[in-house]
Structure 1
Amino acid sequence: MSLEFHPHTPSPQSDEEEKASPSSTSSSASSPAAEDARPFLRPSASAAGGGGRSRRRRTVSEPSLRSLSSHTSRGRSFGRDVGHAAAETFLLTRLAITLLRYLGVGYRWITKFLALIFYATLLTPGFLQVGYYYFFSSQVRRSIIYGDRPRNRLDLYLPTKVDGLKPVVAFVTGGAWIIGYKAWGALLGRRLAERGIVVACIDYRNFPQGTISDMVEDASQGISFVCNNIGSYGGDPNRIYLIGQSAGAHIAALTILDQAIKECGERECTSWSVSQIKAYFGISGGYNMLELVDHFHSRGLYRSIFLSIMEGEQNLWRFSPEILVQDSSVKHAISLLPHVILFHGTSDQSIPSTASKKFVDTLHSLGAKADIVLFEGKTHTDLFIQDPLRGGKDELLEHIAAVIYGARSQNKSLLEIHVSITRWWKTRSRSRRCFWCSMCVSS
């Protein structure tokens, strides 16, 4: 059995953002016709003198030339930014209209949308602080181009101290497969960068600009860019970790599983390998779409739109990592998977914590290395938004940092790391506990 993804023709989009790299800058643009001709996964001027001007009697000084060149460059850059903003606005408007046609006038999604607006309003002070960091911090490299498809961009969050190569996290953000955006990872990027970790937040096409196949393709290309280029930004290519949150956890799990299947010989090899990923962290994710479709429908993500995202009801099993790993034809790919660690709050209503439990149990039954961390009383957004915004101790990030640093420098097992963290946390506050289902330790 082969996990096949069928390309979806993306909407036209202006693609004139500058590509940031350590040594050079270039522009990239793509047309819909050119995109259709490309495969699903791809392997990885001299100045002209003005003769006529030399005949002029009056010469222009070098500082004046530099000033004129600077003004011209800024004018072109401003014009390019305005043109790109206009194209993006037009595209978003058109996609929003298309999305509204799918959603209709259902009361569930409208109430959820209004609740989201109210929730975001309450957190505005915190979001403004994160937004200022995102746009003005010298440690953030925004919109680095990693491919030639629409939204093939990623943001880099760099540690302040440059004292050797740093561990790297490739992050795939959530957003119900509809409103995902790389900037949503700014808070995670900042907190991990403060711990000396390079973070790459990968953007990808959302529905209706793309379906799940396009999202997996984009995530794979973003991971490939990180694996092959992160050394130029101070990251250690031998210490790369993958994190996905919510819908991003589902996309990242599909991406890494698809890559493992390719490396088993069922499809051609690509420009990155599963062996380069030291561990996969899934935060509040769903991994069995057949079981979740009705739950999402009751939460406002209607069956019709969800099935369109997943390319039809007949394909739900193909985009369910929990089901895919049980297929006998991919049993050899299971041994290639990195250590899988899933995080979930027990009070999560958006995606029940049982989704992570069942996936870990399935991986265990197949001999894969997998663990789950359950946070008592935490909701879908507590782990990713509220806890980091509150400041102070962040349980989720401490667990991630413990795995990234502890397993390497102290040669501890994950169980030993968990025991030390749990004991410390209990001495700090006995009113809060962290439960590790598959590795429960009695107090």
Structure 2
Amino acid sequence: MQSSSEIHLPDRCRSMSSSTASEIKEAGSDEMALLHGSNMLFSPPEQFRRRVSSGKSSPRIYRQQSFGREIGHAAAETYLITRLSFNLLGYLGVGYQWITRLLALACYAMLLMPGFLQVAYCYFFSSQVKRSIVYGDQPRNRLDLYIPPTNGGMKPVVVFVTGGAWIIGYKAWGSLLGLQLAERDIIVACLDYRNFPQGTISDMVSDAAQGISFVCNNISEFGGDPNRIYLMGQSAGAHISSCALFQQAIKESRGESISWSVSQIKAYFGLSGGYNLFNLVEHFHNRGLYRSIFLSIMEGEESFEKFSPEVRLKDPSVRKAAYLLPHIILFHGSSDDSIPPEASKNFTDSLRAVEVKAELIMYKGKTHTDLFLQDPLRGGKDELFDHIVSVLHADDSDALKNDAVAPPRKRLVPEFLLELAGKVSPF
């Protein structure tokens, strides 16, 4: 079986303050309308597949139409992101700290560009990637599906919520993970969700919950096993997805109407996440995500408890829902400056205190981006990836045998560029 970590190159990629928060939501409404309008220009995936399979279009026309859609979609989203960026800078202010971080981010991206380009090519042109499947009625309610190349048998599924400081999250950020896991016969659904200032934390959690519901109820149509669904989030995505998981458990414990069940989630993976907003507000302020912006994203300090899973476990009524939670596995780098490793340690302790099965895996010397970007781009053995796959394939002896003989990960970026990127990283 092929290694999941090997990204196919071109020859293998087939063709083509509450008041402040409300003001910011209003400011983002025109951008939301723009993206909604742009999405209306493109046929939904189901309609598109029916048209292709009908035989009315030649393969050549199909490739041209597909390429035109991708260019149009990319242009619309670039325009949207540019407008949102300027809108966001109006709230952040263009101070010294933000200018230096933006420059560092640009240098960081340029150094890793050799790997990004290879991944981007596969993301746009591989037939294994089903992009922008609609899961809700909001403009950002889209998800990408990464489908394994092999047929036969229902496959495990990972629902992945990307990070991005609640501001720049985007479903394509999970493309490297999605492509690699798909090579190990695992389906991956990367969720998009409203970012600030399009929405605030309650919108993000609502979008994530709706996306999870869509996967739970529809993944069998794509060959996924509805009884083997795993939830994963990275950085801000770990916070958002954990909030969605907790809110669902609370609803179930109260007997409320639900569209998906926590029991469908076999395990939760939290990568470099923060789970207690009270402990993070000053830390983020000192790193440039200023207190006023953070409060706006989180709908004021009065909402901190509601969106802090670690804190919610202290509420007796919430503790009753804890028994519904799945196995929780948290990963963190010991040298993470963006979100302190204590965030995962404290959350693990709180979960164990209410008898939730939880474990923490700490990676010595790893930073916030090492685990999710530099290490996968480096090639070779990847402890985090191998651990996740071992959990996903724990009940499949054949898959475990294939994993044991999988070839080593292919390097996508030269080592000296990775070292330089690590030094200039703004994260």
- TM-score of the two chains, using structure 2 as the length reference: 0.80
Shift of 1:76: 8.8
Does residue 396 of structure 2 align to residue 409 of structure 1? Answer: yes
Shift of 1:391: 1.2
Alpha-carbon distance between aligned partners in 2 of 1:345 and 1:82, rounded to the nearest angstrom? 37
1:433 corresponds to: none
Q: 1:249 pairs with 231, 238, 241, which one?
A: 238
**What amino acid maps onto 2:142 in structure 1?**
R
- Whether the 8 Å CA contact 2:70–2:124 is kept in 1: the answer is no
Does residue 158 of structure 2 align to residue 137 of structure 1? Answer: no
**What amino acid maps onto 1:107 in structure 2?**
Y
Q: 2:33 pairs with 3, 9, 12, which one?
A: 12
**What amino acid maps onto 1:286 in structure 2?**
G
Does residue 112 of structure 2 align to residue 126 of structure 1? Answer: no
- Whether the 8 Å CA contact 2:233–2:241 is kept in 1: the answer is yes
**Residues 120-169 of structure 1, C-alpha deviation per residue, up to 9 Å, x if partnerless?**
11000011111111111111111111111111111111111112111100
1:353 corresponds to: 341
**What amino acid maps onto 2:90 in structure 1?**
R
Does residue 144 of structure 2 align to residue 155 of structure 1? Answer: yes
Q: SS in structure 2 opposite 1:270?
A: coil
Shift of 1:110: 2.1
Alpha-carbon distance between aligned partners in 2 of 1:245 and 1:77, rounded to the nearest angstrom? 31
- Whether the 8 Å CA contact 2:130–2:146 is kept in 1: the answer is yes
Shift of 1:193: 0.8
Q: SS in structure 1 opposite 2:393?
A: helix
Equivalent positions of 1:212-291 (< 5 A) are 212-265=201-254, 268-291=256-279
**What amino acid maps onto 1:315 in structure 2?**
S
Shift of 1:82: 7.3
Alpha-carbon distance between aligned partners in 1 of 2:331 and 2:257, rounded to the nearest angstrom? 30
Shift of 1:91: 3.4
Alpha-carbon distance between aligned partners in 1 of 2:360 and 2:239, rounded to the nearest angstrom? 15
- Percent same amino acid at aligned positions? 64
Q: 2:106 pairs with 117, 133, 143, which one?
A: 117
In the alignment of these two chains, the number of paired residues is 365
Q: 1:332 pairs with 320, 325, 332, which one?
A: 320
Alpha-carbon distance between aligned partners in 1 of 2:193 and 2:315, rounded to the nearest angstrom? 28
Q: SS in structure 2 opposite 1:344?
A: strand
Change (3 A) 1:81 1:127: closer
- Whether the 8 Å CA contact 2:129–2:147 is kept in 1: the answer is yes
Equivalent positions of 1:69-218 (< 5 A) are 87-218=76-207
Q: SS in structure 1 opposite 2:337?
A: coil
2:6 corresponds to: none
Alpha-carbon distance between aligned partners in 1 of 2:147 and 2:73, rounded to the nearest angstrom? 26
Shift of 1:94: 3.2
Q: SS in structure 2 opposite 1:12?
A: helix
Q: SS in structure 2 opposite 1:161?
A: coil
Q: SS in structure 2 opposite 1:105?
A: coil
- Root-mean-square deviation (CA, aligned residues, Å) is 2.7
Does residue 307 of structure 2 align to residue 319 of structure 1? Answer: yes
Any unmatched runs of 5+ in structure 2?
Answer: 1-21, 405-427
Does residue 369 of structure 2 align to residue 344 of structure 1? Answer: no
Q: SS in structure 2 opposite 1:374?
A: strand
Change (3 A) 1:79 1:396: closer
User: Which range is displaced more, 179-188 or 75-84?
Assistant: 75-84
Q: SS in structure 2 opposite 1:18?
A: coil
- Whether the 8 Å CA contact 2:233–2:269 is kept in 1: the answer is yes
Q: SS in structure 1 opposite 2:156?
A: strand
Shift of 1:21: 3.5
- Whether the 8 Å CA contact 1:109–1:301 is kept in 2: the answer is no
Change (3 A) 1:89 1:403: closer
- TM-score of the two chains, using structure 1 as the length reference: 0.77
- Whether the 8 Å CA contact 1:102–1:304 is kept in 2: the answer is no
Any unmatched runs of 5+ in structure 1?
Answer: 1-5, 27-62, 411-416, 422-443
Alpha-carbon distance between aligned partners in 1 of 2:74 and 2:126, rounded to the nearest angstrom? 22
Change (3 A) 1:383 1:366: same
Change (3 A) 1:21 1:240: farther
